[in-house]
Chains A and B, each alone.
Chain A
Amino acid sequence: MTITVLGISGSPHRHGNTETLLDRFLEGAQSAGASVEKVILKDLEYTPCRGCNACHRDGNCIVNDAAPPLFDKIMAADCVAIASPIYSMGITAQLKGFIDRGQYLWARRFVTKTLAFSPEHLARHKGIFISTAGQNWDHVFDGAYPSLTALFHDAGFEYYDNIVANNMDTWKGIKNHPTALDEAARKGQQVVSVLEALKKST
């Protein structure tokens, strides 16, 4: 069966460094035989989480917009690649607004206890974070990882890998980076091979 890979771009502008890195990852995945799809968050209509905790009653979000259907789509994929540039040492407000809407999945896991993932399920669902930053600090991505961990775990994904490239200001864009684009393509191919092998092993 074909491996499905979903890419989500959380950048407010199109075809920048981060989306380019995501594209290369998806191309790699496609070349390895996966069915790939890309979603642009900025084109979707959704509001940030209201913090109303209504989902703690029945595990459902009361806000009907584009966010819950996208979580459904994420959970139907074998691999999800979430991309965001680093703004002010964190993910974009756009992506954070979306991730916070996943609170209803957290509520299903820990409040209503209607959602649980086996270790086998987690191993067969790989989450990857893709990011670029202008800053050259190595720790520039550190503030992003914990929220990505929350998203991956609540949606039933193993936090499998990061594809990150800092120092964009010096490189003058991802196209001049010596290794990042090739790394993204290679990792796109590799994750599909790993997922295929896992599927065959059952």
Chain B
Amino acid sequence: MTIKVLAFAGSPRRHGNSETLLDWVLSSMAENSDVAVEKVPLTEANINICRGCNACEKLNRCVQRDGMDTYHDKIVEADIILLSSPIFCMGIAALPKALIDRAQVFRSRKYVLKLPVIPPERKGKRLGAFLATAGQDWPHVFDAAIPSVKCFYHVIDIKDADISYLMINHVDENGAIERHPTAKADTEKLGKTMIAEIRKRLAA
């Protein structure tokens, strides 16, 4: 069985530090022949912002027709969902925030309409990871992003204990991540650990 990995690259800048982190995790995962990875740069995903209309609480779908039509289905189908973002102004960047806010349709399905987000037999068989970089060297620079990231994973049925975090501060200029002493090794370890864990879950 193929392990499906869906990865959202959230930076407005292509191939920068946070996307490099994501690429490293993906290449570590893709070393396994049974893993299929798909990377979605949000700059090309055509995901509009949530209008806050709450129609999804009744319709069980979003009234907007855009890239989210495709990614909605891919989010449901994936076994592993990765999200990367740089920290801008102490928070997650606007593009990934738009994706997270559009996941409102899953929240409505789960908590308002009380319908399944994924088939019951796949419960507990999904993993998520948030990868972030920040220019600031403050250890608390990621704190404000995390609650929104948790929201995203919770509504798509990936529970708290199944979210991994790899957040690297003090990497500012383009390419700074390459010179970080542990980042690359950390991504390889994360990729391996997640694939081993999802294999175990899917076999159970």
Chain A residues with a Cβ under 8 A of chain B: 11-13, 16, 48-53, 85, 87-94, 96-97, 99-100, 102-103, 106, 139, 142-147, 149-151
Q: Across the interface, do B101 and A92 meet the contact criterion of CB distance under 8 Å?
A: yes
Asked whether A51 and B104 contact (CB < 8 A) given A13-B51, A94-B49, the answer is no
Question: Is there a chain A Cβ closer than 8 Å to B37's Cβ?
Answer: no
A–B pairs, 15, beta carbons within 8 Å:
A13-B53, A48-B12, A48-B94, A48-B95, A49-B12, A51-B11, A53-B174, A87-B52, A88-B100, A88-B101, A93-B50, A100-B93, A100-B94, A143-B91, A146-B144
Question: Is there a chain A Cβ closer than 8 Å to B120's Cβ?
Answer: no
Q: How far is the CA of A49 from the CA of B90 in the complex (A)?
A: 14
Q: Which residues of A contact B11 (CB under 8 A)?
A: 51
Find A48's partner among B53, B93, B145 (CB 8 Å cutoff). Answer: B93
Question: Is there a chain A Cβ closer than 8 Å to B121's Cβ?
Answer: no
Q: Across the interface, do A150 and B103 meet the contact criterion of CB distance under 8 Å?
A: no
Interface size class of B (residues with CB under 8 A): 35 or more
A39 to chain B, nearest CB (A): 17
A25 to chain B, nearest CB (A): 20
Find A52's partner among B13, B144, B145 (CB 8 Å cutoff). Answer: B13
Q: How far is the CA of A151 from the CA of B143 in the complex (A)?
A: 17
Find B144's partner among A88, A100, A145 (CB 8 Å cutoff). Answer: A145
Q: Across the interface, do A88 and B103 meet the contact criterion of CB distance under 8 Å?
A: yes
* Shortest 7 CB-CB contacts between residues of A and residues of B: A146-B90, A89-B147, A97-B94, A48-B94, A93-B98, A150-B89, A88-B151
Question: Is there a chain A Cβ closer than 8 Å to B24's Cβ?
Answer: no
Q: Which residue of B lies closest to A134 (CB)?
A: B54
Q: Across the interface, do B101 and A50 meet the contact criterion of CB distance under 8 Å?
A: no
Q: Which residue of B lies closest to A102 (CB)?
A: B89
